[in-house]
Structures are given as structure tokens and as C-alpha cells.
Structure 1
Amino acid sequence: MITFITGGIRSGKSRFAQEMALRLSQAPVYIATARVWDEDFRQRVKRHQDERGPEWTNYEAYTDLSQLPLQNKVVLIDCVTLWLTNFFMDFQNDLEKSLAAFRKEIDNISQLPGTFLIVSNELGMGLHADTEVGRKFTDLQGWANQYVAAKAEEAIFMVSGLPLYIKRQD
């Protein structure tokens, strides 16, 4: 089962997803998809790490998440934006290759037994990107989000720390 949790920056997505994972399991799995690019980002990663207790099994994975031992677990993937950045950088900003690789991983994950909470950002709701590469990435993010939302049994949009259920499992 996939639950997709999306929203803007600082909308409460990660906190909500972590709380949900802990309600569903006493020993959830956390997959951090971020590569650390600079010191500011290193501090953000540290803050996220400090929020999680010893009950979490933590993995750092950048592209091939479906290869991790995730079967029959509650898994939080945080986040699609950073995961996509890894594909985008690896494929030298090629939209088609990046999206194809991402979709393949989502398809692989959707075939695994377990519960997957997938966190993402809604980039297209803010300012229009200044650069061509920024606009390409915003498009990639939008297409990726649509793909995950279509595969998900449940989709939640976070606004000011509050969940808005946009797709519910029946």
C-alpha cells in the first residue's frame, strides 16, 4: 500500500508522515534520499535525524530504494524531491531518463508487500523557476508526483500542518 503525502515547504509533511509511521509500526523504516551538498543542508539532515528515535531503522539510499530489505514493513521515504534530484543529476538533467528511472522504482516498490509512506513537495505552486534547468526540474517533479499519486491508495496534501485527504482508500 502506498500513501502519498505532499505539500509545500514547511507544511508539516515529514512530521505527519513520521507520526503516521509510528502509529502503524513499533519499528518503522526511514529512507533518507538526500545527498548532502553543503553545510546548510547537512544541518537540515541532522535536524531530521535528531527527530527520530531508536525505534527507526534508517537507510540512506539515493536511487535504487526498491533493492533495500523493505518487505512487510512500514516504510517512510523522505522525499521524492531529493530522490528525483539524484536521478536528474545522474542523467545530466535528462527529463525522460530521470522520469523513466523514477517510475521504474515506484513500480518496483508498489509490488512489494508492506506499507509505504512517500513524502514529496509541490514545487509548481510557488514562483516560476528562473532558469531552464529549474523549470525542467519543476516539470519533472510535477510528473513524478502525478505518477505516485495515481499509484497510491491514499493521497494527503499538507497545508499549515494540517492534512487534507485528497484520495482515500475505500
Structure 2
Amino acid sequence: MKQLILITGGARSGKSKYAERLALTLSPTPIYLATSRIWDEEFHQRVLRHQADRGPEWTNIEEDKELSRHQVEDRVVLIDCVTLWCTNFFFDLEADTDKTLEAVKQEFDRFVTQNATFIFVTNEIGMGATSENAIQRKFTDLQGWVNQYIAAKADKVVLMVAGIPLVVKG
């Protein structure tokens, strides 16, 4: 049963919808593990809309950093998203890229030791122009390294482009 799937792409590429459909084909009762912190009221409303769209078949868990605290053994779990998860570590560790990368890798490795099907959603934020903002450049580098780390361990990697899934691994 253990499987690791990474779904990546740009903003509004269809990553989350594709991941949700995939999870529901693999289990009638998947887990949705949301990694975002609520920054403001607009974002809170966005989260509520996403929760309402999912329906009662989903088990919703909110966890901003310590994914491994949750037992998902023998389940299908969708983690949405790696980018927000990394953001939480990045800012808590004062934008120290090395410390953040190490913390994220360690937590990822602890979490995926469970016998489960993992579907990670992430963003390809480094495909555009280079930012003039130093913090954004550091985070873009971090996100690229984390994506590479997860992709190397993944059984399957899917790149979403304009709502179309392109299998790049597996």
C-alpha cells in the first residue's frame, strides 16, 4: 500500500483538484492534511470554502509543521501543501535556509515512515522571473531543494500544466 506521489505545478494549475480526485479514486475516506496557517480574514474565508468543497468523506486535519504527530497508517493522505508547510518552518527559523531545509527533511522522513499512501501537493515557484526581494529568492531556492528531495523519494511525480497532468516520473 505504501506509495508516495508528488503533484507539482504553478499557481492555479489544477494541482489540488487533481490531487483530491486521485485521493478519492484510491480511498472512499481519504485524509486531507492542511498545512496552512491563517494569516488574515480573506485567507480564512478561502480555507472555509476549500473545506466545504471537499465534503463529508474527508477527514480534515490541520497541522502547520509536525506532520508526523498524526497517525495515518493504512490510509490515503493528501498533504496540501508543501509550499505553505515550508513557509511555516522558514519564518519560524528566521529565514535560515539551511536550518529550514534540514528541519523539513527530517520531519518529512519521520512522517513518511508510516505505511500509507501519501499525495503531496507543491508549487513550482522558481519557473518565473528572479525576484528582487532577497527573502523571496532564499525561499524560492529552499522550495526548489525541498521539491527535489521529495521527488527523488517519490514513486510518481505529476506536473500540472493548465489543468493537464503530465507524468514526469513513474
Bin the TM-score by the shorter chain. Answer: over 0.9
Partner Cα separation in structure 2 for residue 15 and residue 47 of structure 1: 13
Identity of aligned residues (%): 54
Q: Helix, strand or coil: the match of 2:130?
A: coil
Which one is further off, 152-161 or 39-48?
39-48
Partner Cα separation in structure 2 for residue 138 and residue 40 of structure 1: 24
Partner Cα separation in structure 1 for residue 32 and residue 132 of structure 2: 33
Match of 2:73 in 1: 71
CA shift for structure 1 position 49? 1.1
Moved over 3 A (4+): none
Which one is further off, 129-138 or 9-18?
129-138
Amino acid at match of 1:43: Q
Amino acid at match of 2:114: L
Partner Cα separation in structure 2 for residue 51 and residue 125 of structure 1: 29
Q: Helix, strand or coil: the match of 1:156?
A: strand
What's the Cα RMSD here? Answer: 0.9
Match of 1:33 in 2: 35
Q: Helix, strand or coil: the match of 1:26?
A: coil
Residues 66 and 167 (structure 1), Cα distance of their counterparts in 2 relative to 1, 3 Å cut: same
CA shift for structure 1 position 127? 2.5
Partner Cα separation in structure 2 for residue 3 and residue 109 of structure 1: 14
Partner Cα separation in structure 2 for residue 136 and residue 122 of structure 1: 14
Q: Helix, strand or coil: the match of 1:113?
A: coil
Partner Cα separation in structure 2 for residue 136 and residue 30 of structure 1: 29
Is the 1:110–1:151 contact (alpha carbons within 8 Å) kept by the matching residues of 2?
no
Amino acid at match of 1:96: D
Aligned ranges 1:64-103 → 2 under 5 Å? 64-103=66-105
Match of 1:10 in 2: 12
TM-score by length of 2: 0.96
Out of 93, 106, 123, which is 1:121 matched to? 123
Partner Cα separation in structure 2 for residue 49 and residue 129 of structure 1: 32
Amino acid at match of 2:75: K
Q: Which runs of 5+ in 1 are unaligned?
A: none
Query: Is 1:55 matched with 2:66?
Result: no
CA shift for structure 1 position 110? 2.4
Match of 1:163 in 2: 165
Match of 1:142 in 2: 144
Amino acid at match of 2:149: Y
Partner Cα separation in structure 2 for residue 47 and residue 56 of structure 1: 14
CA shift for structure 1 position 70? 0.8
CA shift for structure 1 position 156? 0.3
Partner Cα separation in structure 1 for residue 136 and residue 128 of structure 2: 12
Q: Which runs of 5+ in 2 are unaligned?
A: none
Match of 2:106 in 1: 104
